[in-house]
């Protein structure tokens, strides 16, 4: 008996049931190996990137806390210095001038602190934007790859197309 069964359906058209000729087993093995080994590499890369971004966010928050503490200490020292200056001066006019200077110094210190906080906030926003951009880029890359694979197999036999669609779906579930 012949190992190649060929059943003609119409004139010049038929179904090839020889599994070795259609490469279904070979394709399944190659895709399985790629998913098994490639999934771990992609997962570890994304986890490493996530860790670096979280560390950057924690560092930025620590810098903000340090600048707030330094501002509070500087403000307290400035307030003490202003109070000493006010108690030393006895004349009302001198007291008013000293209070005005303290007010201006406080305002300058607050402006300086706000600028520092604003810079930290901008850096934090940049890190968040970078994280969002990376996430969107990864999603677009996966969607693009799926589209290319589906386009390439759209003209293939139904059994091979179903197998490829199943493998693509499983790969998508692993990455999500």
pLDDT digits (tens, 9 = 90+) for 124-143: 888 888 888 888 887 887 77
Position 151 scores a pLDDT of 73
pLDDT in tens, 108-122: 888 888 888 888 888
pLDDT band at 1 (very low <50, low <70, confident <90, very high): very low
End-to-end CA distance of the chain: 49
Q: Which two tokens stand for residue 83?
A: 């109070």
State the Rg of the chain over Cα. Answer: 34
Among candidates 152, 151, 133, 164, which has minimal Cα distance to 32? 164
Q: Which two tokens stand for residue 60?
A: 């930025």
SS3 6: strand
């Amino acid at each position: 008996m012949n190992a190649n069964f060929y059943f003609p359906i119409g004139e010049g058209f038929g179904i090839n049931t020889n599994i070795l000729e259609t490469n279904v087993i070979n394709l399944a093995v190659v895709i399985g190996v790629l998913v098994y080994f490639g999934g771990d590499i992609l997962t570890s890369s994304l986890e490493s990137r996530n860790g670096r971004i979280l560390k950057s966010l924690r560092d930025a928050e620590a810098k903000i806390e340090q600048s707030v503490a330094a501002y509070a200490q500087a403000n307290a020292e400035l307030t003490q210095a202003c109070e000493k200056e006010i108690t030393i001066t006895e004349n009302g006019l001198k007291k008013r001038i000293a209070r005005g200077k303290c007010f201006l110094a406080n305002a300058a210190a607050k402006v300086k602190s706000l600028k520092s906080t604003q810079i930290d906030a901008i850096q934090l926003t940049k890190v968040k934007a970078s994280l969002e951009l990376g996430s969107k880029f990864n999603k677009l890359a996966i969607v693009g790859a799926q589209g290319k694979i589906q386009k390439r197999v759209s003209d293939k036999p139904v059994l091979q197309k179903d197998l490829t669609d199943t493998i693509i779906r499983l790969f998508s579930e692993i990455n999500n």
